[in-house]
Amino acid sequence: MSTEAGRADTRERILRIARDVLRANGPRGLTFDAVARRLGKSKQAVIYWFPTKDALLAETLLPDVAAEAGAARAALRGRRGPEAVRAFVEAVAGFHLEDLDRFRLVYLTPPATSGAADSRPGRIAAPVLADLAASLDGESDARSADAAAIHAAVLGLVLTLVRAEDAGTPPPHDPVDMIESLARRLAGGG
């Protein structure tokens, strides 16, 4: 294995381990020491690749952000107006319902520090919202805000389901019915 391939492998192993630690122990449990222990290397080896916990956290979550973006873009392909809205809502909500723990990690994990959060996840999500905005009817100035509001509404619905699960209570309605209702309402149907 070349030195470059070995380095890439180390980086990918760090990310796999960080993801496992994050899922098992939450964001507070994701430490350089915990990752280094599982990696079998020094803490400095982890810091070499990810100089801050925020950088490690953001990079660990990128595949999930990219997967959500992929699901949304696939749903939007070739659709416009209300049909695009319905497809987007159903795709994004369905994506998150498949794995509520993934939703918790991506949307409910706070930054490790109070400094500026890594912007890479936002750079992945922004084009998806631009695609949604482009597929909407209406004034161009309002479409960007409409797209952001539609995405926020979907995330709010999923958050409602997460909170119900966390409280050990059933959701207020069948999740599939809630998704269909939200999609219909946001698409302009009654």
Q: How far apart are CA 156 and CA 147, in angstroms?
A: 14
* Residues 141, 123 contacting (CB under 8 angstroms): no
pTM here is 0.84
CATH, residue 14: 1.10.10
* Residues 82, 187 contacting (CB under 8 angstroms): yes
**Claim to verify: residue 129 and residue 41 sit in the same structural domain:** no
**Claim to verify: residue 44 and residue 95 sit in the same structural domain:** no
**Claim to verify: residue 44 and residue 73 sit in the same structural domain:** no
Inter-CA distances, 23 with 19, 66, 100, Å: 6, 18, 12
DSSP at 51: S
CATH, residue 77: 1.10.357.10
Residue at 174 is within a domain: yes
pLDDT of residue 121: 65
Q: How far apart are CA 67 and CA 150, in angstroms?
A: 18
- Angle of helix 53-76 relative to helix 81-97, nearest 10 degrees, comes to 140
Structural domain for 6, as ranges: 1-51
pLDDT of residue 166: 93
42-71, pLDDT tens digit by residue?
Answer: 999 999 999 998 889 888 988 999 999 999
**Claim to verify: residue 45 and residue 70 sit in the same structural domain:** no
> For the residues 8-16, what does the mean pLDDT come to?
91
Residue at 15 is within a domain: yes
Specify the number of domains making up the chain: 2
Q: How far apart are CA 134 and CA 144, in angstroms?
A: 8
Residue at 105 is within a domain: yes
**Claim to verify: residue 116 and residue 182 sit in the same structural domain:** yes
- At 109, the pLDDT band (50, 70, 90 cuts) reads confident
pLDDT of residue 3: 66
**Claim to verify: residue 41 and residue 72 sit in the same structural domain:** no
Residue at 56 is within a domain: no
**Claim to verify: residue 31 and residue 94 sit in the same structural domain:** no
**Claim to verify: residue 26 and residue 7 sit in the same structural domain:** yes
**Claim to verify: residue 160 and residue 121 sit in the same structural domain:** yes
pLDDT of residue 145: 92
**Claim to verify: residue 154 and residue 76 sit in the same structural domain:** yes
